[in-house]
Amino acid sequence: MSSGFAQLSAVFFSEILSRKRQRAVRVASLRVADYTPPAARPQGSAALKKVEMDTDAGPVELIVKVLAQPHDREALVWRLLAKLPEAPVPEIHHVEHDGSWGTYGVILEYVPPLAEAERWDPAQCRRIGLALARFHAIFWGRPDQVPAFLHTDDARLAPEKVEPAVRRFLDRITARKHAALSAVVPDVFAFLAKLIGMDREFFDRADPLRPTLIHAALRRSEVLLRPGSAPLEPVLIDWERARLGTAAEDLAALTASLDPADRPSAAEALLDGYVEGLTAAGVACETPVLKRELLRRRVLLVGAALPGDCRLYVQREGDPAHHGWCARFIERTHQQVAEARGLLETIAEMDAI
């Protein structure tokens, strides 16, 4: 079956479905089309195909994700996930990682984007927290059981690097650029000054949570809700950045990606569901420790992103082609800074108890 990804034939899918269902399945007709991900999901390096089939077992819809050779690592991640029944992922029909043929990819159940997921209500967020905890619990505190290729330092956010990056930005910004930013987002400089004024422990402290396998690029767009189930079942996609890490990294990134209007209630529901899920899985984790680390990670995400976003704004300011982006930057930055300053106050209150 090593050449199947190139052909995507009825015979190829008949073999896959027969093996998956452990009985012969005949594909009567087959339709293959390029699949455009939802607008919220950034385009990746993979070629996505949607496959619709009429079979003697009924209609079947699948997604075929063909990976370029430099990204073959993702196929290894999917192969691992296929062995983990607890993992909240779409049903995995086939994984291919064949260096001799140069074919890498995965064939998954098709889970469509749902209008109901456009706004994440607390009940949905709680279920997503439960699902994420179920996944994290698999390897919680057992890094020796995580495959070696996932022991990588390719962290998207290295906390100890945030403070020097912010200092470089503040030291090198010109008076003209400072004035341009101060005119539209004056609070950004007060926040950055407060951030670099935090003690070294805020940046350099060892993560208090035990390591586990994490998604490491978890955003709202990487969470789908499977239709036909009541309640809707969350599944996670796009695992190319998976690695050894800690729970707060996934929780912070997911929370930060939510709509600001939804975020306060969503963050609370996610954390409540997550803690409940860990408890159900028999994982011991102190909720105050998890919450503080989650808040710290959220603040650091804002601090890590602001210097680059601010530089981009002063480059694009006044360019009609980027008017929409600049307007969104101003609104988003006001929201991020106000929220991050509030999080710092909450951390200070927790530390004072």
Report the C-alpha gap between 203 and 222 in whole angstroms: 28
Position of tokens 């890490």?
245
Q: CATH: 3.30.200, 2.60.40, 3.30.410, 3.30.360. Which one for 4-110?
A: 3.30.200
Tell me, what's the pLDDT at 170?
96
C-alpha atoms less than 13 angstroms from C-alpha of 268 in its C-beta half-sphere = 5
What are the boundaries of each domain within the chain? 4-110, 116-352
For residues 12 and 107, the answer to whether their CB atoms sit within 8 Å is no
Cα-based angle 66, 69, 73 (whole degrees, multiple of 5) = 85
> What are phi and psi for residue 64, nearest 5 degrees?
-110, 120
Tell me, what's the pLDDT at 45?
47
Provide the residue type at 43 as one letter.
Q
Report the C-alpha gap between 155 and 250 in whole angstroms: 12
Report the C-alpha gap between 328 and 298 in whole angstroms: 20
Q: Is pLDDT above 60 for 188?
A: yes
pLDDT category of residue 46 using cuts at 50, 70 and 90: low
For residues 148 and 291, the answer to whether their CB atoms sit within 8 Å is no
Span 209-248, pLDDT tens digits: 999 999 999 999 899 988 876 778 899 999 999 999 999 9
Tell me, what's the pLDDT at 40?
40
Mean pLDDT of the chain: 89
What is the mean predicted confidence (pLDDT) over 154-180?
Answer: 88
Span 266-306, pLDDT tens digits: 999 999 999 999 999 999 999 999 999 999 999 999 999 99
Domain 116-352 in CATH 3.90.1200.10? yes
